[in-house]
Amino acid sequence: MRWIKVILFSFIFSAVSGQSSDSLITIGHRNYELGDYTEAIKYLNQAAEVDGRNPEIFYLLGVCKSQLQLNNEALKDYQIALALDPTYAEVYFEKGYSLFMIGKLEESIEAYDKSIKLRPENAVAYVNRGSVKCILGDKEGAMKDWKKAEDLGAPLPEQECDI
């Protein structure tokens, strides 16, 4: 009976470890969408072992870790993703959020600046950058960003930047 368990474990392990990075990313992304970030991270780490040159893996790892409020760890994954693809606008966007969450507001704005430069149609990046500017006391900059977001079609609630 013990040999059957060993053989079964070996078969299951080789089936999982033999998967392509794309299939592991798909499973990880599916777990992310279901809100099971820990499980998603498990599969994305396996994907990174198979293909450590795919920036999407590290982007998704960062997003999952950010959802678990592990923003410092998320930032490390974002740095890897950006080293692999410095034009990945979504990574800069998420990096901006993680930097905001750990109180690095100036760096957060820099990340949003890069995201907007690469994807100027991303209305949410303007909303977020404007909000950080407001917190920092840049009322004019905040209002300008929020107006741009609204022009791009983002529905904005009543927002004021009273400083």
- What domains does the chain contain, in order, with CATH numbers? 2-86 (1.25.40.10)
Entry pTM = 0.87
Q: Is the pLDDT of residue 16 over 60?
A: no
| Least reliable range by pLDDT among 14-18, 46-50, 64-68 | 14-18
pLDDT number for residue 15: 47
- Long-range contacts at 26-34 (CB < 8 A, ≥ 24 apart): 28/57, 28/60, 28/64, 29/60, 32/60, 32/63, 32/64, 32/67
Q: Between these two residues, 6 and 111, which has the higher pLDDT value?
A: 111
Q: Which of 69, 66, 101 minimizes the C-alpha distance to 81?
A: 66
Q: Hey, what are 161's tokens?
A: 């930047």
Q: Between these two residues, 12 and 54, which has the higher pLDDT value?
A: 54
- Beta carbons within 8 Å of 113's beta carbon, 6+ residues apart: 129
Q: Is the pLDDT of residue 83 over 70?
A: yes
Q: What is the mean pLDDT of the chain?
A: 90
Between CA 102 and CA 71 the distance in angstroms is 7
